[in-house]
């Protein structure tokens, strides 16, 4: 076995607090299983698009007690390096995934052992409560134990900066540097003087604020089906619906209670094909007009609308346009701004321009969207991956408040005999059809990240001249920066007046992703434009599928 690898394993084991994980690594050493040890040690977890995420397993490439302990020591050292006093407090929360309670406990013990103040959420709760509390309490940082919509075997560690938004470079690099060099941790329990449980009154203030914005006075007859996809959003969202005036909300009973094994879902992600099948069955039985879905930590919003032919699953971009259509007048009056990402549809910018509202385009991830307004106020931000921020009180995506905002729009439209699909028709008639599609190819195994980067690099070195039936008229390596954005991994292909394609490695999973947008000419009927857009995006996606081979 490689002596350097053996030394790394032995050094890790010396600081690993978990007996079972130490035994696993020891057995692998005894068996000289270099392949498996390489998988666990060659590529340690790093802060990607949304924090640390990975499978629960022993070693630095997995989520485990040692990884969490080191990361938390890194957080403390980072706060010290940037001059933020940890005695301002660190908000700590968790979802209901397997391992989340244990990892939450590690975070709390390490923070208290270092003399930090801890504001701990009282139970497994939605992720948006952590960034909300960071801002409301003027805390030093926030930590949320969650892997959001990842598969059941994964867990994760989201880190929020003092401004309530997820950390960005170079803060992530500082945390990782200190985590790599972490030694034995000093631990303390919850009897330490710095521990506080977040008061229910603070969470009630969150509820009161968003109910004040989106409540239906006099109540609503709108029939809604809701699913939290076995996550932590269920009780909170149903309470919000009731208090907001919706008396006809039917939960998907088999998916309502938190369950980290996600027994009814292959992937607990509202974007995945089939994820809303049980919701559709429930909605048909209850004659609902709208389906609302949260992902397991309730920071994302999925939705579907009833049509004469069945159900239309709303794409993230479509939900973004709908929410913007309801919020832009208010945002303009308040002189706020909106933001979206380079992989999301370009329609928001057109909508904002028509309303006289400034619109920013950021890199992928809400850590960038949340900061797009600079010293101003972000009134609305969204990304195509079902992430929406409808209020500056939460400097991150929030599937709870976004659900209230979308439901309010659906209610208001229903009073006119319309649906959200009628609003989409209006928007695309005015601003043009924006056909989008996405390709995601997974590369499993320890060599996956390297394969993904190689494929993207090869595509950039020999870019296509055609994608589908459209000419590639511009190629940009995003590593060189683009339109004032920071360098990032990925490629931009401009399709002239027809749209664009962006290819990039996923920041949360071992995937390469391609994002396609085609904007056909505004000629003929909306149905005809949509049919042409769908045909062109299918052809572009097919070309990309043949090019992105592992």
Report the C-alpha gap between 419 and 290 in whole angstroms.
9
Q: Which of 4, 123, 148, 407 is catalytic?
A: 148
3-state secondary structure of 519: coil
| Residue 148 annotated in active site | yes
Please choose, from the candidates 408, 372, 403, 377, the residue with its C-alpha nearest in 3D space to the C-alpha of residue 388: 403
Report the C-alpha gap between 342 and 317 in whole angstroms.
12
What secondary structure does DSSP assign to 449-489, as a single string?
HHHHHHHHHHHHHS--SEETTEE--EEEEGGG-BTTBPP-S
Q: What angle do CA 444, 294, 288 make, to 5 degrees?
A: 125
3-state secondary structure of 52: strand
Report the C-alpha gap between 356 and 362 in whole angstroms.
19
Produce one character per residue of 190-229: b if its CB has 16 or more CB atoms within 10 Å, e if not: eebebbeebeeeebeebbebbbebbbbeeebebbbbbbbb
Rounded alpha-carbon distances, angstroms, from residue 513 to 22, 81, 516? 36, 35, 10
Report the C-alpha gap between 480 and 273 in whole angstroms.
35
CB 437 within 8 A of CB 506: no
DSSP designation for 150: S
Residue 160: strand pairing partners: 142, 166
Contacts of 183 (CB under 8 A, 6+ apart): 15
CB 16 within 8 A of CB 23: no
* Residue 259, phi-psi category: left (phi > 0), alpha (psi -120 to 50), beta (remainder): beta
Report the C-alpha gap between 487 and 401 in whole angstroms.
32
3-state secondary structure of 306: strand
Contacts of 428 (CB under 8 A, 6+ apart): 434, 526, 529, 530
Residues designated as active site:
148
């Amino acid at each position: 076995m490689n002596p350097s690898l053996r030394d790394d394993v032995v050094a890790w084991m010396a600081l690993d607090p978990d007996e079972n994980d130490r035994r696993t690594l020891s057995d692998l050493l005894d068996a000289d299983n270099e392949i498996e040890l390489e998988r666990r040690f060659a590529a340690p977890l790093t802060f990607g698009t949304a924090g640390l995420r990975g499978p629960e397993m022993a070693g630095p490439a997995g989520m485990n007690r040692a990884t969490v302990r080191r990361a938390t020591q890194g957080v403390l050292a980072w706060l010290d390096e940037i001059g933020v006093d940890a005695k301002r407090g660190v908000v700590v929360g968790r979802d209901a995934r397997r391992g989340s309670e244990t990892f939450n406990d590690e975070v709390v013990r390490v923070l208290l052992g270092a003399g930090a103040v801890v504001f701990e959420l009282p139970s497994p709760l939605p992720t948006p409560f952590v960034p909300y509390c960071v801002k409301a309490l003027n805390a030093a940082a926030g930590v949320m134990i969650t892997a959001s919509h990842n598969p059941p075997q994964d867990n994760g560690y989201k880190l929020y900066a003092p401004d309530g938004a997820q950390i960005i470079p170079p803060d992530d690099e500082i945390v990782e540097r200190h985590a790599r060099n972490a030694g034995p941790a000093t631990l303390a329990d919850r009897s330490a003087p710095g521990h506080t449980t977040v008061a229910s009154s603070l969470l009630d203030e969150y509820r009161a604020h968003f109910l004040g914005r989106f409540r239906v006075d006099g109540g609503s007859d709108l029939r809604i089906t809701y699913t939290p996809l076995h996550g932590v959003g269920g009780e909170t969202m149903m309470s919000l619906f009731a208090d907001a005036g919706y008396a006809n909300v039917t939960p998907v009973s088999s998916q309502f209670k938190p369950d980290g094994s996600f027994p009814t879902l292959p992937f607990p992600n509202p974007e995945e094909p089939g994820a809303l099948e049980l919701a559709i069955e429930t909605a048909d039985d209850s004659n609902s007009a709208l389906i609302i879905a949260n992902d397991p930590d309730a920071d994302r919003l999925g939705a579907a609308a009833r049509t004469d032919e069945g159900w239309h699953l709303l794409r993230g971009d479509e939900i973004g346009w709908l929410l913007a259509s309801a919020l832009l007048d208010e945002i303009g009056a308040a002189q706020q701004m909106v933001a979206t990402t380079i992989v999301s549809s370009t329609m928001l910018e057109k909508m904002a321009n028509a309303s006289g509202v400034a619109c920013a385009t950021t890199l992928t991830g809400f850590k960038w969207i949340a900061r797009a307004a600079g010293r101003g106020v972000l009134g609305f931000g969204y990304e195509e991956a079902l992430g929406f921020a409808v209020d500056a009180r939460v400097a991150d995506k929030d599937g709870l408040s976004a659900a209230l905002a979308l439901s309010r729009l659906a209610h208001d439209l229903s009073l006119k005999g319309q649906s959200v699909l009628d609003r989409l028709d209006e928007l695309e008639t005015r601003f043009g059809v924006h056909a989008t599609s996405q390709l995601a190819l997974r590369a499993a195994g320890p060599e996956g990240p390297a394969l993904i980067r190689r494929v993207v690099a090869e595509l950039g070195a020999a870019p296509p001249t055609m994608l589908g039936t459209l000419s590639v008229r511009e190629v940009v390596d995003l590593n060189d920066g683009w339109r004032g954005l920071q360098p990032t991994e990925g490629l931009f292909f401009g399709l002239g007046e027809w749209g664009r394609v962006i290819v990039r490695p996923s920041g949360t999973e071992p995937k390469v992703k391609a994002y396609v947008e085609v904007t056909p000419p505004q000629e003929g009927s909306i149905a005809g434009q949509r049919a042409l857009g769908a045909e062109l995006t299918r052809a572009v996606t097919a070309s990309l599928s043949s090019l992105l081979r592992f």
